[in-house]
Amino acid sequence: MNLTTKAAVVAGAVLAVGVAVAAPASAASFGPIWIGGGAYSYNDGQDLICATATNSSATPKVKRYIEVNAWPLNSSDGPSRQFRDYNNAFSDGSGNTCRSLATAYEDSSYRVSAIAFEWNTEFGQWVRASHIDVRDFYS
């Protein structure tokens, strides 16, 4: 074996050992992730997934909400959460809505989807105000 081949074999072995003993993926906070009409986030330290529907500059204010769905990729690893946050154009004065994932096993794999809607007064119905944002994370 020549010197460059030996160096490549040793480097490959060191890399393989490094990959084999790498720590598992750790939990990570993310966000806020802005989508049309609001944002959502995950705070790993508090185990909270939150959504905030933003206000519009229009008069009268446009009613908006963010819908969030979070579920474990392995259903036995923790709870699923589905919720909405409405902006304060609604009479209840909603703002930031959070749900806990504290009962999930540590570092469980989760998937979350979020989408924003707003009220279309011309048609008298809710319309999608954003794309569906989907991402995976660890609780």
Question: Which CATH fold would you assign to the domain 28-138?
Answer: Immunoglobulin-like (2.60.40)
For 83, list phi and psi in degrees, rounded to 5. Answer: -155, 170
Q: What sign has the CA pseudo-torsion 94, 83, 35, 131?
A: negative
Q: CA 90, 36, 85: angle at the middle one, nearest 5?
A: 35
pTM of the model: 0.74
Cα(19)–Cα(116) distance, integer angstroms: 40
Helix, strand or coil for residue 25? Answer: coil
Per the prediction, the chain carries an average pLDDT of 79
Q: What is the pLDDT of residue 119?
A: 87
The full set of domain ranges for the chain reads: 28-138
Residues paired with residue 100 on neighbouring β-strands, in sequence order: 48
Virtual torsion, Cα 14, 19, 22, 27, nearest 10 deg: 150
Of 90, 111, 116, 114, which Cα lies nearest the Cα of 101? 111
Q: What is the pLDDT of residues 80-121, one digit of tens each?
A: 999 999 887 655 445 689 999 999 999 899 999 999 999 888
Work out the pLDDT band at 13, boundaries 50, 70, 90. Answer: very low
Q: What is the pLDDT of residue 121?
A: 83
pLDDT at 23 over 50: no
Q: Report, as an integer, the average pLDDT of 22-27.
A: 40
Q: What is the pLDDT of residues 35-82, one digit of tens each?
A: 988 999 999 999 999 999 987 766 667 888 999 999 999 999 999 999
